[in-house]
A and B are shown apart, each in its own frame.
Chain A
Amino acid sequence: MRPDQDIGVPHGDLLLAFAETIIGNDRMALDTARTALADALGVEAISGASAVAGNFTKNDRVANALGIPVDPPVLKGTEELREQLGLNGYASAQNTFRHM
Chain B
Amino acid sequence: MNANVMNSTVIEMALYKDSEFPVRADLEAAHQAQFDRFGQPGTWGSGAQRIAVIAAARQACIDAGVIEASEDVGATSDVDLPKVVRDVIATVAVSPKDVDLNFYGAAIGGGLTDAEYTEIVGLVSFICNLDVFARGIGVTPRKLPEPQPGEPSRLRPPEAVQEHAFVPTIPNPPEGGGRAKAMYGSFKPYIMRAMSLVPDEFADHIALERAQYLPLEKIMEFEFDYHDGLTRPQVEVVAGRVSALNDCFY
Contacts and interface: CB of A to CB of B under 8 A. Distances in A.
Nearest to A9: B233
Contacts of A92: 97, 99-100, 247-250
A65 B97 contact: no
Task: Give chain A's interface secondary structure class.
Answer: helix
Contact of B248 (A10, A20, A51, A60): A60
Counting chain B CB atoms within 10 Å of each CB, which of A12, A62, A94 scores highest? A62
Contact of B97 (A16, A31, A64): A64
A65 B78 CA distance: 26
Interface string A59-75: 11111111111110010
B83 interface: no
Contact of A48 (B16, B129, B235): B235
Given A48-B228, A67-B167, A70-B250, A60 B242 contact: yes
B191 A63 contact: yes
Q: Of A19, A46, A54, which is in contact with the most chain B CB atoms at under 10 Å from its CB?
A: A54
Interface string B222-250: 00001111110111011101111111111
Contacts of B165: 66-69, 95
A45 to B, nearest CB: 3
Interface residues of A, number: 63
Contacts of A91: 97-98, 100, 247
Given A11-B234, A65-B125, A55 B213 contact: yes
B234 A65 contact: no
Contacts, number: 259
Interface residues of B, number: 75
A53 B244 CA distance: 12
**Most chain B CB inside 10 Å of its own CB: which residue of A30, A34, A56, A94:** A56
Interface string B41-76: 000000000000000000000001110100000000
A86 to B, nearest CB: 9
Given A15-B237, A56-B213, 6 more contacts: A38-B21, A48-B235, A55-B129, A55-B209, A65-B92, A68-B250
Interface string B127-163: 0111111011110000000000000000000000000
A10 B66 CA distance: 28
Contacts of A99: 164
Nearest to B100: A91
Contact of B246 (A16, A43, A48, A64): A64
A11 B244 CA distance: 19
A35 B72 CA distance: 26
Given A53-B133, A57-B246, A19 B97 contact: no
Contacts of B118: 66
B238 A53 contact: yes
A50 B98 contact: no
A99 B84 CA distance: 27
Nearest to A58: B129
